C-alpha cells in the first residue's frame, strides 16, 4: 500500500517509514510567529534556557496590528524587536512588509516537502507550494525556540478532487466556500487534505493559496496541493534553500474521498456567523452593507486587487459604503501601484490601506459598530470577529466584495 | 473525583467568542484573560462562573484561531473541564499544553442538561450525570505525560532539568 503526502513528508524527516496514527517528534524546517512573538518570548523566558535552539529556522513578521494602533500594541512590538535583537533572529520583518503568509511565500520560505509550523491557524496556506503547513499554539512555539522540537500525531488523509472549468469571474474563493459549505466546519477535522483535479491545477498560485489557506476552516490539519510547473517557475527565482517535491503515492490510502464539479458554480457567500453557512449570492437577501473589506491572507494578492480595479474602473463606491483595500504585502502594494490598480480604486472612492491583517481580527483599521454589515474577502465571519458582536460579516470573493461596494448591497457580481 | 455545575452550549463554539481577537496581543496576564472568557458567546459567564464548573458543548469546540488564550482563559476562570462532541485540533493541543482537561464524549453531551451538577472521575475515565454514567477513552500515553506534568511548559522544564 502506498503512502499519503503526510506519511511521506514525515517519513523523510524521520528517516524511517511513518504511518498514520504514529506520534513523532520533529524539528520543523520553518517556524513562523507574528505579533504573538511577544507573548511567546515571555513563555520562552519561563522555560529558562539561555539561547534560542536554532535562530535560523524562525521567521517573525509583524502584521496582525501593524503599525501599532495603541500604546499596548506598540509595547508588544517593542518586546518582539528586543527579542529578535537579543537572540540573533535574522529572518525578521517589521510592520512595513505585509501579512506573514504572503511574506513567507514571497521570500521563498514556503517550499515543497518542508515542514512549516506557525503560531497562526492559517499556516495551512503553505500547502499551496507542496509544503506541510500547520498551526500550533504559543507554548508550542516557545518550546521550539527553546528546544527546536514539536510533537505531531500523523493524521488520516482525505482526498478532495475538484473537476471542471471555472465559469467566467468565478474564483478559487468560490470553490473553497462551496466545499466548506458542503462538508461543514468540521468536515475535514484533524485530517490532512490533499486537493487535486483539473480545477485545482488550473488555478494560479495565488488561487491555490486561497484554497490551502481555508483548509483550516473545515477543520483540516493541513491542506496540500501537489507542486507542478507553475509552482516551480514561481519558486525558481526565490527559493531560500534546496527542496524536494513530495507527492502522495498513486495507491495511497485515504480516510475519505470527495469529488466536486464546478462547471456551473455560482458566486458563493458565507453568511453570519459561521464559515460553513454558505449559499449562492443569488439566494441571499440583497442586504445593505456599510463596509467592504478586500484583503487578508486569503485574498489580498495582486490578482485580487486587479479584479477589483477592473470592475470598479469608471464606477464609484456607493456613498454609504467604506471600501477598504489592504494589499497583502508591500510587494503586492508596489505592483498594484505600478499597474495603476490603486489609482483606479482611489479614484472610485476606495481607501487603500497599508499591508497587514487590517480589521480581519477586529484589532484596528476598520472595526465594525453594532448593527453594521460588512462583506469581506477574509476567512472568518465569527460573531464579534471584526468588532461588535452585533455586527454581521459575510465572506465572499474579491469580485463579490467589489460588486457589493459599488451597489451598496449584497449582489451577484455578474449584475454589475 | 470532581464535581461541578454545567454550562451547556451548542456546536462550533469558535475561539473568537471564547476569547476575542481584539485582546490577543494586549492582554498577557492569564487572570485578566479569564475576565473575558466567552465574552462574545455568553457575556455573563466570566463573572458568574465558579471554581470547578464544567463547560459542555457540541461538535468542533474551539474551531478557528490558534490562540492559546482560548484555553488559558477557561483554565484561569477555574473551569475544571470541557466536555464536547469533538474538538478542533488546535484547541485540543492548546488544551493539553495549558493543562485544561478536555473530554470527548458525544453521548454524554447529548445526555447532560444545562445547569445540572455532574461528577468526573478522571483516574477511571468515568462521568456521572443525571441521565446516567459515561466512560470516556484515555489519552495516548505521550499526551498524558504532558498533562500529568501540568502542561507543556512544566513538562519541557522537567525534561531539560533531567537532561542536566
Tell me which residues of chain A, numbers 375 to 394, contact chain B at a CB-CB cutoff of 8 Å.
380, 382-385, 387, 389
Give the three-class secondary structure for A217: helix
Do A340 and A292 belong to one domain? yes
pLDDT at A96: 98
Do A89 and A236 belong together in one domain? yes
pLDDT computed for residue A101 by the predictor = 98
Q: How much is the pLDDT for B26? A: 87
**Cis omega (within 30 of 0) for bond into A273:** yes
pLDDT value, residue B25? 86
Q: What residues form DSSP beta bridges with B57?
A: B84
* pLDDT confidence of residue A92: 98
Distance from CA of B35 to the nearest CA of A (A): 17
Contacts of B140 in chain A (CB under 8 A): 23, 153
pLDDT of residue A171: 98
Asked whether residue A17 is domain-assigned, the answer is no
Q: Which residues 239-278 of A have a C-beta within 8 angstroms of B?
A: 274, 276
Residues A80 and A146 in one domain: yes
Predicted confidence at residue A81, as pLDDT, reads: 98
Using the 3D structure, point to which of A205, A231, A260 is the last residue of a domain.
Answer: A260
**Residues A105 and A184 grouped into a single domain:** yes
Q: Which CATH number fits the domain that encloses residue A116?
A: 3.30.499.10
User: How is residue A131 annotated by DSSP?
Assistant: -
Which of 136-155 (B) contact A at CB < 8 A?
Answer: 140, 142-143, 151-153
* Assigned domain for A402 exists: yes
Among A23, A48, A137, whose Cβ lies nearest the Cβ of B68? Answer: A137
* Domains in chain B: ranges and CATH: 2-138 (3.20.19.10)
A275 shares its domain with A249? no
Tell me, yes or no, if A1 comes closer than 8 A to chain B by beta carbon: no
A contacts of B65 (beta carbons < 8 Å) = 120-121, 361
The reported pLDDT for the residue numbered B138 is 81
Instruction: pLDDT tens for chain B, 164 residues: list them.
Output: 899 999 999 999 999 999 999 899 889 999 999 999 999 999 999 999 999 999 999 999 999 999 999 999 999 999 999 999 999 999 999 999 999 999 999 999 999 999 999 999 988 999 999 999 999 988 888 888 898 898 999 999 999 999 98
| Domain co-membership, A172 together with A199 | yes
Cross-strand partners of B117: B5
- Cα nearest neighbour of A148 on chain B: B156
Pairwise CA distance, residues A9 & A14, whole Å: 9
A242 occurs within a structural domain: yes
Pair (A254, A357) in one structural domain = no
A136 with A249, same domain: the answer is yes
pLDDT of residue B139: 83
Looking at the structure, tell me whether residues A373 and A351 fall in a common domain: yes
Among A260, A290, A311, which residue terminates a domain? A260
Q: How many domains does chain A have?
A: 2
Q: Tell me the C-alpha distance between B67 and B91, whole Å.
A: 8
The x, y and z cell numbers of residue A359, run together, are: 480589521
**A42 touches B at CB < 8 Å:** yes
DSSP string computed for A28-87 = -SEEEE-TTHHHHHHHHHHHT-SS-S-GGGEEEE--TT-S-SSHHHHHHHHHHHHHHHHH
List of chain A residues with pLDDT < 70: none
Q: What is the pLDDT of residue A163?
A: 98
ipTM above 0.90, yes or no: yes
Range of the domain at A48: 5-11+22-260
Q: Write down which residue in A230, A260, A290 finishes a domain.
A: A260
Same domain? A278 vs A158:
no
Amino acid at each position: 500500500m502506498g503512502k499519503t503526502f503526510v506519511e511521506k513528508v514525515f517519513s523523510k524527516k524521520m528517516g524511517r517509514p511513518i504511518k498514520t496514527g504514529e506520534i513523532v517528534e520533529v524539528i520543523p524546517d520553518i517556524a513562523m510567529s507574528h505579533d504573538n512573538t511577544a507573548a511567546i518570548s515571555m513563555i520562552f523566558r519561563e522555560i529558562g534556557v539561555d539561547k534560542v535552539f536554532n535562530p535560523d529556522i524562525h521567521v517573525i513578521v509583524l502584521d496582525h496590528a501593524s503599525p501599532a494602533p495603541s500604546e499596548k500594541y506598540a509595547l508588544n512590538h517593542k518586546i518582539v524587536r528586543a527579542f529578535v535583537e537579543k537572540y540573533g533572529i535574522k529572518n525578521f520583518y517589521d510592520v512595513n512588509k505585509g501579512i506573514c503568509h504572503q511574506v513567507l511565500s514571497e521570500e521563498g520560505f514556503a517550499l515543497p516537502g518542508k515542514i512549516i509550523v506557525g503560531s497562526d491557524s492559517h499556516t495551512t496556506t503553505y500547502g499551496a507550494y507542496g509544503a506541510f503547513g500547520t498551526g500550533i499554539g504559543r507554548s508550542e512555539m516557545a518550546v521550539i525556540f527553546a528546544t527546536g522540537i514539536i510533537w505531531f500525531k500523523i493524521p488520516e488523509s482525505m482526498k478532495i478532487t475538484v473537476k471542471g472549468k471555472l465559469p467566467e469571474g468565478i474564483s478559487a474563493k468560490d470553490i473553497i466556500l462551496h466545499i466548506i459549505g458542503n462538508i461543514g466546519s468540521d468536515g475535514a477535522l484533524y485530517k490532512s487534505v490533499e486537493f487535486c483535479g483539473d480545477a485545482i491545477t488550473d488555478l494560479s498560485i495565488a488561487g491555490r493559496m486561497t484554497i490551502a489557506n481555508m483548509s483550516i476552516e473545515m477543520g483540516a490539519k493541513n491542506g496540500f496541493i501537489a507542486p507542478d510547473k507553475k509552482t516551480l517557475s514561481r519558486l525558481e527565482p526565490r527559493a531560500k534553500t534546496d527542496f524536494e517535491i513530495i507527492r502522495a503515492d498513486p495507491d495511497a490510502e485515504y480516510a475519505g474521498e470527495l469529488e466536486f464539479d464546478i462547471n456551473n458554480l455560482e458566486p458563493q457567500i458565507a453568511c453570519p456567523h459561521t464559515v460553513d453557512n454558505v449559499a449562492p449570492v443569488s439566494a441571499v437577501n440583497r442586504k445593505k452593507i456599510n463596509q467592504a473589506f478586500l484583503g487578508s491572507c486569503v485574498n489580498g494578492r495582486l490578482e485580487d486587487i486587479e479584479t477589483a480595479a477592473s470592475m470598479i474602473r469608471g464606477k464609484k463606491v456607493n456613498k454609504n459604503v467604506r471600501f477598504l483595500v489592504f494589499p497583502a504585502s508591500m510587494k503586492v502594494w508596489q505592483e498594484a501601484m505600478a499597474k495603476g490598480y490603486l489609482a483606479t480604486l482611489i479614484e472610485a472612492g476606495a481607501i487603500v490601506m497599508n499591508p497587514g491583517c487590517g480589521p480581519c481580527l477586529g484589532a484596528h483599521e476598520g472595526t465594525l459598530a453594532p448593527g453594521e454589515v460588512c462583506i469581506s474577502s477574509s476567512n472568518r465571519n465569527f460573531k464579534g470577529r471584526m468588532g461588535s458582536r452585533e455586527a454581521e460579516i459575510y465572506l465572499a470573493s474579491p469580485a463579490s466584495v467589489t460588486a457589493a461596494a459599488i451597489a451598496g448591497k449584497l449582489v451577484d457580481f455578474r449584475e454589475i | 473525583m470532581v464535581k461541578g455545575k454545567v454550562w451547556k452550549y451548542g456546536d462550533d463554539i469558535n475561539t473568537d467568542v471564547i476569547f476575542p481577537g481584539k485582546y490577543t496581543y494586549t492582554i498577557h496576564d492569564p487572570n485578566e484573560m479569564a475576565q473575558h472568557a466567552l465574552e462574545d458567546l455568553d457575556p455573563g459567564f466570566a463573572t458568574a462562573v465558579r471554581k470547578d464548573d464544567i463547560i459542555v458543548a457540541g461538535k468542533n469546540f474551539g474551531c478557528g484561531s490558534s490562540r492559546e488564550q482560548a484555553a488559558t482563559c477557561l483554565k484561569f476562570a477555574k473551569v475544571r473541564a470541557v466536555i464536547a462532541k469533538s474538538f478542533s485540533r488546535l484547541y485540543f493541543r492548546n488544551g493539553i499544553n495549558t493543562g485544561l482537561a478536555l473530554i470527548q464524549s458525544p453521548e454524554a453531551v447529548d445526555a447532560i442538561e444545562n445547569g445540572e451538577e455532574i461528577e468526573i472521575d478522571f483516574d477511571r475515565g468515568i462521568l456521572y450525570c443525571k441521565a446516567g454514567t459515561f466512560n470516556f477513552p484515555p489519552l495516548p500515553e505521550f499526551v498524558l505525560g504532558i498533562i500529568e506534568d501540568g502542561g507543556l511548559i512544566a513538562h519541557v522544564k522537567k525534561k531539560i532539568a533531567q537532561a542536566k
